[in-house]
């Protein structure tokens, strides 16, 4: 289950740090826009990043609610 | 990074059907507003949108690049871009190959186009190849090496896309590595599918529609986000920040793609460059001249002068070959007619086809056989059709009986070559009903409610679907998925949905057409289509020959045959009496149901007032119920002046100016015909023929405010300087009369051609009523009335109608020796033509069927067919007139009777069926329902007749009683809806034509009443109307009911005759019908079987 994350990002929305760990590299970035016809529309910008600690982390910004989340 | 360095080279329009979501011109406008200097259109396996794109781009100042995303036979895609003329030719040929086998299935259902790499190899020159989209592009080295062999490294690029999907960066890294290994460049593309964000939502829904599923169920098939919306060059460059070379390559590549589709494609029609054509045409005309205008005849001198003038204009315009080509096709039609009609039959006297439209005004057309109307005797002026200032090819439209046209079209393909001839395409577009049904299903809305909204819809603009939803379901559906339906439908309005066939336009060429436009097989065998519609063909300079199928021509020919067979009379319709009193009496009394053009509700209303007395009057009559004369305010003045002239032959018709007398004399000072716009502009404002035609074109369908205004100023200026007595005010008034006409009208020549057929068909109806009815019934669908209404009207005129009978009916309708009309077995729905042929053949070979057992063993038809025949009452004579006995016995017999196997009909043993138990006779209401369900009509008791006692109880009167009531009386009338119309010219007023067992009456529904009772008015077949009776002497005594209240006519409780339950016919179809039937108003059995009637402008609908 995704959980809330503390993410700092640049003007383009690219993460600079995730939960206090700096981002070393962006591996992938993708966009999900779906279920717009339902009561629970989905708009998320995903980032798969490698932190300076060497971890592969997937975070997303919820573009409807504007919060950051990370997958465990 | 330079923000302008990105050029979009991969973009889909709505001509990537059910995939792209924007029109080409929308993409052009959006591209310009977002800073693009060029754009490539690359629809899936199609160039259908290319000409529209090229024209829009040229007009707005964007550089258009052409191409297509082509499907390979393994399902992968490559993007091909045109660099030069050779490339365009090759792309057209390649796409023709791609579609060549898309109709090879047994039902000719469309399959997906595809090409082999060998095909690409044959047609690769002049094209640049990109390796294809992120989802289905080519990315393996062996195939890429084959593409290098075809295109070389100079004309092949690895295509990088960034659809913002997971793993696309990894994919691009792999593609860059592949490009490096192969030594070819990469290029970035956006795979655009929409010009704005709202259309991206629609694109999601289109994916669901294309896959016959819902949005909820097709997530893996959708694009996942809306990154496929046309973006700015700067944003695209930023999206490809990792690949600046690929972005820069877009610009470099675009500079090489210089092909301009608006340039001359090299099309020429056969004969266009024939130096001897002028002389040949003159010889053809002279050869017929003496026959048409013999020495000493009244019009000879005038005709000779006119012929000389026409030939001079044709010579000057270089159009002799154009006329000879049309004549050549007519001669081909003559050969086809002999083949179709036979040599000695009654139809052999008739010409193979006849002209319509403005070409009928040409004496050259008359002498070359392209028109059957004498332009001199009918005082038809030429200017609209042909003048020295013509800038486009004139139109010659030819009408043919349907059977001749069906054979003629493939014959033209044979004669001119399949590469050199094709039909013109048409693109059905989304309008309200289609959008509601398809998008509603995609959104997963309840089918019953979707159908209710669709049926209640106005049917035109999908932009008003929110109103349709409110009206059908109440105002509680303005949120959630219903709100999305309204929004999506508004976006879908006008988008092309699929490729179809134009009603008759055909292109022939001297060079292979496949070098100009891709050709694809049509749904009908032996025909092929160009991928362009008539506008694109016209923009390309193609000559379109209209070969139209005219149902009434088929009907009159069939009638002539019936008359010859039954009465031994041979009728030449060109030599009948054109002043027949009985015929004109019928016309003047609006007793014209079923005849050509003057049968509609509106025409009948007009006939009682105009009371035509000659063919000239009919020429006006067929033209009068058109938007041009109506909006132009010509109709009432014309009719009133005609009525005054009838009352007082000394009445002086008022003209706005003396110069208008000549052009408007025949139409009593009003503008009824298109040509009169030209004549008025010339006589009143001093326009040249070409200027006047320019004014007419400006006022035609694609009206341009600026162009009209330019003509307006010139018109007023011209009139005031030409005539000293014309004030600016008067000039303005005349211009208003001209501009009010707006071009939505017939040219006089067309009126003459159609007026003649209106007379001929009325003459046949008057003198050969049963034969004429037979012909109409067998040429359906055609005309204004459904077969049911034609039958009822004929019954009221005393023609006996006999139901289908397995021992008496042929496949088609027939006139009996006693003059009754016997409905053919072909009218029984659900019985195949081959089953009917086998049944009739068995009867002719072995004599009438003696019993149901005998029928069962000899008929050669399966059980479902026999059941349908029994339900239709066609077996009544075998069972003492009781359908239930027939059905019971068939239930027993059919389990043991013949089965059609591979070896043909298997003979069966004679059966000895047990007697049926005592069965209750089928009640009249149920028998009537069964009639409608099985044949679409009832020849026994009218449904309103069956409800008469109930209507009497409610104080309703029969339609025959209305003539005895006074103007202003409050009335209540029940009836079956025969037509619903809401003309755009009637300011929201809706007209219903109601029929009961005695006749028909026109019901006028005001906008207020319509809004109160909209669902009943729009969807119910049986109505009870309360309102005020109106009868005005000026309307020729015609009766209208001005409705105050319109409600569904309640049918008393009864046991429904469910003809569907026992039939094992296609269960899915029956389930669909049941769903539709129950969707609108519950379970009313009549509404499910009611005959399809004229419903607004959408043709016949149930």
Domain ranges for chain A, please list them.
Answer: 2-52
From B167, B224, B443, residue closest to A34, measured CB to CB: B224
Q: Is B690 on the interface with A (CB under 8 A)?
A: no
State the smallest CA–CA distance between residue B165 and chain A in angstroms: 5
Q: Which two tokens stand for residue B312?
A: 């001079």
Tell me if residue B687 falls in helix, strand or coil: coil
CA distances from residue B420 to B46, B326, B905 in whole angstroms, order as listed: 19, 16, 44
Do the chains contact at B225 and A28, CB–CB below 8 Å? no
Q: What is the pLDDT of residue B1094?
A: 75
Question: Is the pLDDT confidence value at B114 over 80?
Answer: yes
Identify which has the larger pLDDT, B482 or B349: B482
> Which residues in A lie closer than 8 A to residue B480 (C-beta atoms)?
39
Question: Is the pLDDT confidence value at B853 over 90?
Answer: no
Q: What is the pLDDT of residue B1069?
A: 42
Which range is least confidently modeled, B38-47, B387-396, B431-440, B967-976? B387-396
Q: What is the pLDDT of residues B956-993, one digit of tens each?
A: 999 999 999 999 999 999 999 999 988 777 788 999 99
The residue behind tokens 């053809």 is B284
Question: Is the pLDDT confidence value at B465 over 80?
Answer: yes
Would you place residue B912 in the very low, low, confident or very high pLDDT band (cuts 50, 70, 90)?
A: low
- Mean pLDDT for B667-675 is 93
> Which residues in B lie closer than 8 A to residue A33 (C-beta atoms)?
200, 224-226
> Which residues in B lie closer than 8 A to residue A29 (C-beta atoms)?
164, 169
CA neighbor of B425 nearest in space, from B327, B354, B496, B359: B496
Burial class from Cβ neighbours inside 10 Å (0-12, 13-18, 19+) for residue B108 reads middle
Contacts of B118 (CB under 8 A, 6+ apart): none
Probe site for chain B from A25, A37, A43 (most B CB atoms < 10 A): A37
Q: What is the pLDDT of residue B1062?
A: 38
The residue behind tokens 């081959």 is B834
CA distances from residue B161 to A21, B9, B41, B165, B189 in whole angstroms, order as listed: 31, 11, 16, 10, 5
Probe site for chain A from B163, B164, B172 (most A CB atoms < 10 A): B164
Classify the C-alpha dihedral B928-B934-B936-B937 as positive or negative. Answer: negative
Tell me if residue A3 falls in helix, strand or coil: strand
Q: Which residue of B has its CA nearest to A31?
A: B164
Q: For B603, how many CA atoms within 13 A lie in the half-sphere containing its CB?
A: 23
State the smallest CA–CA distance between residue B1080 and chain A in angstroms: 25
From B225, B480, B484, residue closest to A33, measured CB to CB: B225
- Mean pLDDT for B562-581 is 93
The alpha carbon of B333 is separated from its chain's Cα centroid by a whole number of angstroms, namely 23
Q: What is the pLDDT of residue B35?
A: 95
Q: What is the pLDDT of residue B696?
A: 81
Q: What is the pLDDT of residue A42?
A: 95
Which range is least confidently modeled, B278-282, B366-370, B915-919? B915-919
Contacts of B33 (CB under 8 A, 6+ apart): none
CA distances from residue B887 to B15, B361, B851, B891 in whole angstroms, order as listed: 51, 59, 13, 6
State the smallest CA–CA distance between residue A28 and chain B in angstroms: 6
* Phi and psi, residue B508, nearest 5°: -125, 150
Q: Is A34 on the interface with B (CB under 8 A)?
A: yes
CA neighbor of B835 nearest in space, from B889, B777, B899: B899
> Which residues in B lie closer than 8 A to residue A32 (C-beta atoms)?
224-225
Q: What is the pLDDT of residue B704?
A: 58
State the smallest CA–CA distance between residue A34 and chain B in angstroms: 6
Which range is least confidently modeled, A44-53, B282-291, B533-542, B822-831? B533-542
> Which residues in A lie closer than 8 A to residue B235 (C-beta atoms)?
none
Identify which has the larger pLDDT, B132 or B1085: B132
* Entry pTM: 0.82
Q: What is the pLDDT of residues B757-816, one digit of tens each?
A: 999 999 999 999 999 999 999 999 999 999 999 999 999 999 999 999 999 999 999 999
Q: Which residue of A has its CA nearest to B201?
A: A36
Do the chains contact at A30 and B166, CB–CB below 8 Å? yes
Do the chains contact at A33 and B226, CB–CB below 8 Å? yes
Other beta carbons within 10 angstroms of residue B613's beta carbon come to 14
DSSP B597-627: STTSHHHHHHHHHH---SHHHHHHHHHHSSH
State the smallest CA–CA distance between residue B213 and chain A in angstroms: 15
Question: Is the pLDDT confidence value at B1073 over 70?
Answer: no
Calpha distance B670→B637 (Å, rounded)? 7
Contact present, B321 and B280 (Cβ < 8 Å): no
Q: Is A37 on the interface with B (CB under 8 A)?
A: yes
From B170, B238, B481, residue closest to A28, measured CB to CB: B170
Q: What is the pLDDT of residue B297?
A: 93
Calpha distance A46→A33 (Å, rounded)? 11
Do the chains contact at B219 and A29, CB–CB below 8 Å? no
Q: Which two tokens stand for residue B861?
A: 């038809």
- Mean pLDDT for B387-400 is 83
CA distances from residue B615 to B366, B618, B621, B754 in whole angstroms, order as listed: 18, 5, 9, 10
State the smallest CA–CA distance between residue A5 and chain B in angstroms: 21
Q: What is the pLDDT of residue B977?
A: 96
State the smallest CA–CA distance between residue A71 and chain B in angstroms: 15
Do the chains contact at A29 and B164, CB–CB below 8 Å? yes
Which range is least confidently modeled, A19-33, B689-703, B851-865? B689-703
Q: Is A24 on the interface with B (CB under 8 A)?
A: no
User: Facing residues of B806 across strands?
Assistant: none
Calpha distance B561→A4 (Å, rounded)? 84
Q: What is the pLDDT of residue B1063?
A: 39
CA neighbor of B231 nearest in space, from B33, B54, B62, B40: B33
Would you place residue B936 in the very low, low, confident or very high pLDDT band (cuts 50, 70, 90)?
A: very high
Averaged pLDDT score across all residues of chain B: 89
Which residues in B986-1014 are b (16+ Cβ under 10 Å) and which e? eeebbbbbbbbbbbbbbbbbbeebbeebb
Do the chains contact at B166 and A36, CB–CB below 8 Å? no
Q: What is the pLDDT of residues B876-893, one digit of tens each?
A: 988 887 788 888 877 655
Contact present, B822 and B778 (Cβ < 8 Å): no
Identify which has the larger pLDDT, B1006 or B105: B1006
Question: Is the pLDDT confidence value at B905 over 80?
Answer: no
- Mean pLDDT for B259-278 is 91
Instruction: Enumerate long-range contacts of B322-325, CB under 8 Å, 24 or more apart.
Output: B322/B269, B322/B271, B322/B272, B322/B393, B322/B394, B322/B543, B323/B281, B323/B364, B323/B365, B323/B368, B323/B370, B323/B396, B324/B271, B324/B274, B324/B277, B324/B280, B324/B281, B324/B284, B325/B269, B325/B270, B325/B271, B325/B508, B325/B543, B325/B545
Query: How many inter-chain contacts (A to B, CB under 8 Å) are there?
Result: 39
Which range is least confidently modeled, B900-909, B950-959, B969-978? B900-909
Which residues 1002-1061 on chain B approach chain A with CB closer than 8 angstroms? none
Calpha distance B66→B42 (Å, rounded)? 7
State the smallest CA–CA distance between residue B39 and chain A in angstroms: 25
Would you place residue B913 in the very low, low, confident or very high pLDDT band (cuts 50, 70, 90)?
A: low
Do the chains contact at B215 and A33, CB–CB below 8 Å? no
Q: What is the pLDDT of residue B902?
A: 36
> Which residues in A lie closer than 8 A to residue B222 (C-beta atoms)?
34
The most confident of the ranges B2-6, B102-106, B935-939 is B935-939
> Which residues in B lie closer than 8 A to residue A46 (C-beta atoms)?
166
Q: What is the pLDDT of residue B884?
A: 84
Q: What is the pLDDT of residue B693?
A: 80
Do the chains contact at B165 and A27, CB–CB below 8 Å? no
State the smallest CA–CA distance between residue B482 and chain A in angstroms: 10
Q: Is A27 on the interface with B (CB under 8 A)?
A: yes
Question: Is the pLDDT confidence value at B1060 over 60?
Answer: no
In total, chain A counts a number of residues equal to: 72
Would you place residue B357 in the very low, low, confident or very high pLDDT band (cuts 50, 70, 90)?
A: confident
Contact present, B684 and B660 (Cβ < 8 Å): yes
Probe site for chain B from A12, A33, A63 (most B CB atoms < 10 A): A33
From B167, B227, B481, residue closest to A31, measured CB to CB: B227
Q: Which two tokens stand for residue B259?
A: 């092909």
Calpha distance B143→B406 (Å, rounded)? 45
- Mean pLDDT for B253-274 is 92
State the smallest CA–CA distance between residue A52 and chain B in angstroms: 21
From B164, B167, B219, residue closest to A31, measured CB to CB: B164
Q: What is the pLDDT of residues B156-213, one digit of tens each?
A: 999 999 999 999 999 999 999 999 999 999 999 999 999 999 999 999 999 999 999 9
């Amino acid at each position: 289950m995704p959980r809330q994350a503390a993410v700092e990002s640049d003007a383009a929305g690219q993460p600079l740090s995730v939960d206090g760990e700096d981002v070393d590299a962006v591996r992938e970035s993708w966009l999900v826009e779906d279920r717009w016809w339902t009561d629970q529309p989905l708009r998320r910008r995903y980032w798969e990043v490698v932190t300076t600690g060497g971890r592969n982390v997937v975070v997303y910004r919820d573009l409807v609610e504007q919060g950051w989340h990370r997958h465990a | 990074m330079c923000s302008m360095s990105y050029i979009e080279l991969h973009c889909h329009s709505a001509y990537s059907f059910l995939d792209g979501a924007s029109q080409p011109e929308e993409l052009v406008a959006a591209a310009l507003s977002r800073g693009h200097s060029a754009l490539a259109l690359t629809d899936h396996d199609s160039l259908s949108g290319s000409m529209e794109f090229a024209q829009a781009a040229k007009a707005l100042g964007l550089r258009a690049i052409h191409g297509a995303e082509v499907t390979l036979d393994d399902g992968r895609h490559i993007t091909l871009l045109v660099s030069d003329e050779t490339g365009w030719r090759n792309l057209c040929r390649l796409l023709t190959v791609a579609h060549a086998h898309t109709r090879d299935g047994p039902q000719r259902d469309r399959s997906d186009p595809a090409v082999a790499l060998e095909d690409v190899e044959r047609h690769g020159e002049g094209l640049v190849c990109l390796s294809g989209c992120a989802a289905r592009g080519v990315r393996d080295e062996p195939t890429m090496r084959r593409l290098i062999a075809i295109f070389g490294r100079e004309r092949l690029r690895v295509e990088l896309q960034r659809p913002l999907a997971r793993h696309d960066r990894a994919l691009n890294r792999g593609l860059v590595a592949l490009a490096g290994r192969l030594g070819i460049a990469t290029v970035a593309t956006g795979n655009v599918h929409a010009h704005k964000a709202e259309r991206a939502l629609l694109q999601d829904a289109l994916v669901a529609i294309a896959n016959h599923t819902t949005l909820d169920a097709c997530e893996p098939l959708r694009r996942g986000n809306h990154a496929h919306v046309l973006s700015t060059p700067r944003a695209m460059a930023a999206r490809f920040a990792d690949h600046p070379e690929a972005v820069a390559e877009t610009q470099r590549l675009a500079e090489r793609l210089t092909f301009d589709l608006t340039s001359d494609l090299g099309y020429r029609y056969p004969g266009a460059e024939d130096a001897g054509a002028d002389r040949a045409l003159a010889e053809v005309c002279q050869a017929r001249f003496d026959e048409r205008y013999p020495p000493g005849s009244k019009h000879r001198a005038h005709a000779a002068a006119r012929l000389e003038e026409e030939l001079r204009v044709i010579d000057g315009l270089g159009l002799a070959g154009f006329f000879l080509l049309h004549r050549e096709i007519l001669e081909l039609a003559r050969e086809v007619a002999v083949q179709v009609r036979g040599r000695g039959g009654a139809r052999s006297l008739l010409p193979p086809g006849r002209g319509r439209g403005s070409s009928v005004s040409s004496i050259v057309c008359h002498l070359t056989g392209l028109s059957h109307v004498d332009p001199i005797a009918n005082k038809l002026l030429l200017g609209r059709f042909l003048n020295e200032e013509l800038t486009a090819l004139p139109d010659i439209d030819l009408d043919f009986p349907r059977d001749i046209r069906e054979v003629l079209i493939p014959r033209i393909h044979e004669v001119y070559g399949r590469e050199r001839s094709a039909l013109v395409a048409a693109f059905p577009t989304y309008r309200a009903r289609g959008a509601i049904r398809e998008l509603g299903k995609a959104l997963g809305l309840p089918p019953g409610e979707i159908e209710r909204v669709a049926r209640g819809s106005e049917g035109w603009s999908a932009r008003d679907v929110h109103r349709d939803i409110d009206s059908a379901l109440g105002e509680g559906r303005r949120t959630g998925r219903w709100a999305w339906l309204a929004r999506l439908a508004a976006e879908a309005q006008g988008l092309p949905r699929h490729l179809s066939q134009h009603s008759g336009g055909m292109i022939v060429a001297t060079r292979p057409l496949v070098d100009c436009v891709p050709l694809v097989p049509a749904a009908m065998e032996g025909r092929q289509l160009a991928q362009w519609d008539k506008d694109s063909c016209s923009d390309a300079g193609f000559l379109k020959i209209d070969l139209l199928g005219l149902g009434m021509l088929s009907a009159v020919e069939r009638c002539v045959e019936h008359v010859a067979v039954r009465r031994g009379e041979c009728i030449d319709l060109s030599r009948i009496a054109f002043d027949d009193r009985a015929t004109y009496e019928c016309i003047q009394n609006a007793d014209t149901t079923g005849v050509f053009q003057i049968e509609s509700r509106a025409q009948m209303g007009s006939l009682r007032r105009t009371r035509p007395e000659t063919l000239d009057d009919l020429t006006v009559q067929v033209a009068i119920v058109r938007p041009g004369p109506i909006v132009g305010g010509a109709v009432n003045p014309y009719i009133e002046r005609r009525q005054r002239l009838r009352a007082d032959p000394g009445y002086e018709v008022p003209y706005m100016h003396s110069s208008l007398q000549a052009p408007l004399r025949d139409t009593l000072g009003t503008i009824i015909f298109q040509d009169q716009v030209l004549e008025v502009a010339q006589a009143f404002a001093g326009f040249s023929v070409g200027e006047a035609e320019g004014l007419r074109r400006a006022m035609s369908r694609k009206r341009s405010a600026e162009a009209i205004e330019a003509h307006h100023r010139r018109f007023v200026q011209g009139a005031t300087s030409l005539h000293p007595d014309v004030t600016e005010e008067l000039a303005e008034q005349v211009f208003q009369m001209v501009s009010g006409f707006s071009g939505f009208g017939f040219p006089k020549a067309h009126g003459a051609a159609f007026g003649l057929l209106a007379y001929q068909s009325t003459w046949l109806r008057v003198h050969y009523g049963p034969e004429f009815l037979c012909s109409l019934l067998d040429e359906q669908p055609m005309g204004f009335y459904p077969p049911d209404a034609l039958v009822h009207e004929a019954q009221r005129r005393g023609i006996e109608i006999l139901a289908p009978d397995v021992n008496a009916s042929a496949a088609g309708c027939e006139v009996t020796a006693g003059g009754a009309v016997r409905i053919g077995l072909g009218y029984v729905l659900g019985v195949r033509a081959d089953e009917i042929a086998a049944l009739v053949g068995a009867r002719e070979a072995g004599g009438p069927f003696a019993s149901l057992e005998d029928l069962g063993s000899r008929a050669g038809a399966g059980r479902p067919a026999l059941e349908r025949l029994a339900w239709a009452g066609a077996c009544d004579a075998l069972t003492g007139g009781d359908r239930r006995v027939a059905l019971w016995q068939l239930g027993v017999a059919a389990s043991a009777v013949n089965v059609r196997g591979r070896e043909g009909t298997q003979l069966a043993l004679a059966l000895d069926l047990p007697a049926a138990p005592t069965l209750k006779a089928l009640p009249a209401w149920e028998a009537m329902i069964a009639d409608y369900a099985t044949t679409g009509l009832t020849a026994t008791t009218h449904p309103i007749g069956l409800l008469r006692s109930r209507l009497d109880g409610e104080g309703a009167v029969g339609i025959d009683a209305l003539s005895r009531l006074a103007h202003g009386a409050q009335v209540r009338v029940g009836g079956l809806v025969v037509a619903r119309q809401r003309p755009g010219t009637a300011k929201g007023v809706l007209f219903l034509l109601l029929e009961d067992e005695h006749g028909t009456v026109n019901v006028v529904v005001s906008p207020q009443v319509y809004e109160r009772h909209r669902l009943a008015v729009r969807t119910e077949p049986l109505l009870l109307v309360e309102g005020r009776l109106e009868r005005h002497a000026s309307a020729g005594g015609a009766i209208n009911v001005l409705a105050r209240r319109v409600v569904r006519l309640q049918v008393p409780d009864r046991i429904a005759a469910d003809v569907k339950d026992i039939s094992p016919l296609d269960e899915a179809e029956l389930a669909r019908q049941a769903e539709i039937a129950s969707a609108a108003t519950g379970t009313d059995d009549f509404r499910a079987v009611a005959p399809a009637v004229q419903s607004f402008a959408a043709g016949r609908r149930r």
